[in-house]
Amino acid sequence: MTERAVLIYCQHSLGMGQMVRSLALAGALAERFRVMVLNGGRLPKGIFVPPGVQVVNMPALGTGEANQIVSHDRRTSVQRALECRGKMIRTCFDNLHPVVVLVDLFPFGWEKFGVELLPLLQAARSDETRALVVCSLRDILARQRANQQKSDDRAAALANRYFDVVLVHSDPSFANFQESFHSSLRLDVPVIHTGFVVPRATSSPLKVSAKRKRIVVSAGGGVVGESLLRMAIEAHSHFEDPEIEMKIIAGPFLPDESWHALRALARGKQRLRLVKQVPNLYEELCGASASVSQAGYNTCLDVVRAGVPALLVPFAKDNEGEQYKRALRLQHLGAVRVLREKDHSPARLAAEIRALMNYKVTNPDLDLSGTETSVRVIESMLASTDTKVKVACGNETIYVN
């Protein structure tokens, strides 16, 4: 019997959220399918690629200050990169013959990448190469466009035309898709909340010593983390307790000039260690007595799973409030404390960290089975020859066309 295949398209820019989530799904799917991941952003060194997953790195693109597409290779223009990527996408699709095409975020984001995605979706929907087309979404969509209504209407139209199902990787009691999406058009494609997607553990995490006062500071991919990291280094001087030590994780995408500036600032400070990246943030947090970080999807889940006292300083630029919304919801559940980026100073951050040491964490009851549920939904939809598919999702039974 011919091996069934899944093609996953993943584009990331500021952080690693989409890539980590896509690889987690890819690893689970690889137990049942041949899996290929088309990576459209920079691939960090040392990132864990699950066994059986093939990653194809396309010319790396991202978004710039004005939300325009930028090339991460100075030798390659955006136009040339898009042309090359379009050919790579089609070649991979034709050679793989996937029964499933999974696309991260689009059409609910990454509108500018439609030029390369629409041909893929059209091929996946054709009678000759018909595949199950899946949209993969995080818990909270970014809402930052002046013409948001028009954008949502366009997303609904594209979803209805090209997609078979939208998988929202969230616990609906924490964040529901309808809170982030407000189209004037009816969304006919079924939307299923899978629970949060977390990578499977690769080793046993360390347990923190009751006597060890270790603070872990992180900023996701690092692209927009310099301000927080700099503030943490400066806050370190405000600690008088000689038992407090701090480990600062800059992030693989922190610009080189920022990295050199932070290294100079940290030089000579006792009990402070600055590193570019770590293999597994969750394992680092399990060995910490406190965490200070931004509020990206994966970081927040690592914090919740580790049960570590945490201070979230969400990144929020212009009207980009996705991290701030997530942080406030976790604070409401008693899982974290929140400090707005514009409100911090070295002295204030040091005081917040001292208070954090005595903070009693409430472990929220969140559905973290998103990886397994997503695979179950995909397999159920593939297996059915009926007009409707019965899907068990948490405590619900959902019928999808």
Encode pLDDT of 174-197 as tens digits: 999 999 899 999 999 999 999 999
- Which pLDDT belongs to residue 357? 86
Tell me, what's the pLDDT at 85?
96
Rounded to the nearest integer, the mean pLDDT of the chain is 89
As a whole-number percent, the residues of the chain with pLDDT over 90 amount to 72
Give the whole-angstrom CA distance, residue 180 versus residue 166.
Answer: 14
Percent of the chain with pLDDT over 70: 90
Please say whether the beta carbons of 76 and 108 come within 8 A.
no
- Total-model pTM: 0.91
Residue 176's pLDDT is 95
Q: What is the mean pLDDT of residues 290-301?
A: 96
Cα 45 from chain centre:
17
Q: How confident is the model at residue 145 (pLDDT cuts 50, 70, 90)?
A: low
Give me the domains of the chain, ranges plus CATH numbers. Answer: 5-198+368-400 (3.40.50.2000), 213-356 (3.40.50.2000)
pLDDT of residue 203: 55
Q: Which amino acid is at 126?
A: S
Q: Which helix (H) or strand (E) holds 279?
A: none
Average pLDDT over residues 239-268: 93
